[in-house]
Amino acid sequence: MTAAVEFLRVSRHFGPASAPVKAVDDVDLTIAEGSFFAMLGPSGSGKTTCLRLISGFEKPTGGTIRIFGQDVGDIPPNRRNVNTVFQDYALFPHMNVRDNVGYGLMVKGVDRRTRDSRAEEMLALVKLEGYGDRKPAQLSGGQRQRVALARALVNEPKVLLLDEPLGALDLKLREAMQDELKALQARLGITFVFVTHDQGEALSMADSLAVFNEGRIAQIGTPAEVYARPRTRFVADFVGSSNVLPPEVTRAFGGPLKWASLRPEMLRVTAADGVALSGTVTGIRYLGSGSRLSIALNGTEVAALLPAGQPVPDPGATVGLAFDPTALHVMEGEG
Ligand code: ATP
**Ligand 1 closest atom vs CA 14:** 29
Closest residue CA from atom 25 of ligand 1: 14
Distance 8 CA to ligand 1 centre (A): 20
Are 86 and 79 contacting, i.e. CB atoms less than 8 angstroms apart?
no
- DSSP annotation of 132: T
Task: Give the side-chain half-sphere CA count within 13 A for 335.
Answer: 0
Are 89 and 147 contacting, i.e. CB atoms less than 8 angstroms apart?
yes
Mutate to test the pocket of ligand 1, among 10, 22, 49, 194 (most ligand atoms within 8 A of CB): 49
Q: What is the ipTM of this complex?
A: 0.95
Distance 21 CA to ligand 1 centre (A): 9
Closest residue CA from atom 21 of ligand 1: 23
Q: Which residues have CB under 6 Å of ligand 1?
A: 14, 21, 23, 41, 43-49, 197
Other beta carbons within 10 angstroms of residue 137's beta carbon come to 9
Mutate to test the pocket of ligand 1, among 48, 53, 234 (most ligand atoms within 8 A of CB): 48
Q: Tell me, what amino acid is at 142? A: G
- DSSP annotation of 314: P
Per-residue pLDDT of the chain (335 residues; tens, 9 = 90+): 789 999 999 999 999 989 999 999 999 999 999 999 999 999 999 999 999 999 999 999 999 999 999 999 999 998 999 999 887 778 999 999 999 999 999 999 999 999 999 999 999 988 899 999 999 999 988 889 889 999 999 988 999 999 988 877 778 778 888 888 898 899 889 999 999 988 888 998 999 999 999 999 999 999 999 988 889 889 988 887 778 887 777 777 666 667 888 888 889 998 888 887 889 999 999 888 889 999 998 888 899 999 888 889 999 999 999 888 888 888 775 53
Closest residue CA from atom 27 of ligand 1: 14
Closest residue CA from atom 3 of ligand 1: 43
**Ligand 1 closest atom vs CA 212:** 6
- In the chain, the domains with their CATH numbers are 3-237 (3.40.50.300), 242-330 (2.40.50.140)
- Distance between CA atoms of 284 and 220, rounded to whole angstroms? 33
Closest residue CA from atom 10 of ligand 1: 48
Phi and psi angles of residue 182, each rounded to the nearest 5 degrees, phi first: -60, -45
CA dihedral 271, 275, 281, 286 (to 10 degrees): -50
- Distance between CA atoms of 203 and 164, rounded to whole angstroms? 14
